[in-house]
């Protein structure tokens, strides 16, 4: 009962917020000295936006840019607490958080007011403005594999028994692993019973991994040989520390995951926020993301050098990325996480 009523509340909230999207008030032009507040991860992404986006925006409008650094979960909790009166103008979320945030009236649905919007792949035009594809797939130690992994079903090959580090719960990697299990075995996202049954066949796990740092440590220490992880970080890890690690490209496709730039509902810097995102979608920034952290471009126009293009997802590969029914997953998230805790992890 609890979950049904909760989703009803969510739907009512979304329903009340929905008409807002059709009203586009005339936005005041930015004045010199206006401050744009951007919520983003620290590290490489912060460096790229500071280097490539901030100076151009400041040149054009005479504004200032401030950053609130942190993980998406804290950002999202803040944005929800401040709905309608946000202290952020732009905030970066992951794929499922962004779609839920639009439904909950916390952030705006994307519009062509951002010039580069039309340049985005269609799957990057949902829940905000997709700024980077960062798909999840099977990653494994090729020296432990009898044959290269070509399907998500290969995880059920007995040679991996006891050697899999399954990703935790319904985080990005976890959802990818669970939902691709359903798709690979002939089900849909709704077939959670099938998912639990199939995943339990893989037990015992070597461990359950909660972060990339932890997974890579497990590979280093020989604790596990296979997991589901972001291809981008795994490539950096494989190139710098562990050449035996392979990033599979399964026939069912890699699971779509994406960083999304979102404009908050109620921002007082609409024009600045739109221009910020427009600059983020420029070829220059897309290239910097791909070069620095192997994040794949979400715009159709950018051309990558061939050796770099081979390491990220481009062109026709984008069509093979598997997108999930996020409305369903978000509605079922609490229930499924509880079942994961009790029936798979415990």
Task: Give residues in contact with another protein (CB under 8 A).
Answer: 2, 5-6, 9, 13, 35, 37, 41-46, 66-71, 73-74, 76-78, 80-83, 85, 87, 104, 168, 170, 207-214, 216-217, 220-223, 233, 236-237, 240-241, 293, 333-334, 337, 341-342, 345-346
Shortest Å distance, C-beta 85 to another protein:
7
- CB closer to another protein, 73 vs 251: 73
- CB closer to another protein, 104 vs 154: 104
- CB of 245 closer than 8 Å to CB of 234: yes
- CB closer to another protein, 77 vs 308: 77
Distances (CA, A) of 26 to 44, 113, 191, 216, 268: 35, 12, 45, 50, 12
- CB closer to another protein, 273 vs 318: 273
- β-partners of residue 132 are 259
Q: What is the Cα–Cα distance from 121 to 212, expressed in whole angstroms? A: 27
- CB closer to another protein, 152 vs 336: 336
Terminal alpha carbon distance of the chain:
24
- CB of 164 closer than 8 Å to CB of 155: yes
DSSP states along 89-122:
SEEEEEHHHHHHHHHTTSBPPP-TTSGGGGGB-G
Q: What is the Cα–Cα distance from 71 to 89, expressed in whole angstroms? A: 16
- CB closer to another protein, 78 vs 153: 78
- CB of 259 closer than 8 Å to CB of 295: yes
- CB closer to another protein, 67 vs 156: 67
CA-based max dimension of the chain: 64
Shortest Å distance, C-beta 190 to another protein:
20
The SS3 call for residue 306 is helix
Q: What is the Cα–Cα distance from 287 to 305, expressed in whole angstroms? A: 9
Token representation of residue 191: 């077939």
Alpha helices in the chain (DSSP H): 2-17, 44-52, 54-61, 72-81, 95-103, 172-184, 192-201, 212-220, 231-240, 270-280, 283-293, 306-309, 316-320, 326-339
Shortest Å distance, C-beta 191 to another protein:
22
- CB closer to another protein, 117 vs 230: 230
Shortest Å distance, C-beta 26 to another protein:
27
């Amino acid at each position: 009962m609890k979950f049904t009523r909760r989703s009803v509340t969510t739907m009512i909230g979304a329903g009340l917020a929905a008409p807002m999207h059709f009203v586009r008030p005339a936005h005041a032009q930015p004045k010199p000295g206006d401050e744009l507040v951007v919520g983003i991860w620290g590290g490489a992404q912060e460096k790229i936006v500071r280097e490539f986006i901030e100076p151009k925006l400041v040149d054009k409008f005479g504004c200032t840019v401030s950053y609130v650094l942190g993980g998406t979960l804290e950002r999202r909790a803040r944005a929800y607490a401040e709905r309608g009166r946000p202290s952020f103008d732009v905030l970066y979320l992951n794929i499922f958080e962004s779609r839920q945030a639009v439904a909950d009236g916390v952030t705006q649905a994307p519009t062509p007011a951002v010039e580069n919007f039309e340049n985005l792949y269609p799957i990057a035009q949902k829940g905000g403005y997709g700024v980077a594809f960062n798909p999840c797939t099977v990653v494994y130690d090729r020296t432990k594999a009898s044959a290269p992994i070509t399907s998500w079903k290969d995880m059920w090959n007995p040679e991996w028994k006891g050697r899999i580090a399954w990703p935790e719960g319904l985080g990005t990697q976890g959802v990818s692993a669970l939902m691709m299990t359903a798709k690979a075995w002939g089900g849909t996202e709704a077939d959670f019973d099938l998912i639990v049954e199939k995943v339990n066949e893989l037990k015992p796990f070597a461990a359950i991994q909660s972060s990339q740092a932890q997974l890579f440590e497990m590979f280093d220490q020989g604790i596990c040989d296979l997991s589901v992880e972001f291809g981008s970080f795994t490539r950096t890890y494989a190139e710098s520390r562990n050449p035996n690690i392979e990033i599979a490209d399964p026939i069912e496709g890699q699971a779509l995951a994406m960083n999304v730039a979102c404009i908050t509902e109620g921002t007082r810097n609409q024009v600045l926020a739109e221009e910020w995102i427009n600059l983020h979608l420029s070829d220059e920034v897309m290239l910097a993301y791909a070069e620095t952290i192997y994040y794949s471009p979400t715009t159709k126009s950018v051309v990558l050098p061939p050796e770099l293009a081979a390491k990220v997802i481009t062109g026709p590969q984008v069509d093979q990325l598997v997108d999930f029914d996020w409305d369903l997953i978000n509605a079922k998230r609490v229930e499924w996480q509880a079942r994961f805790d009790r029936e798979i992890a415990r």
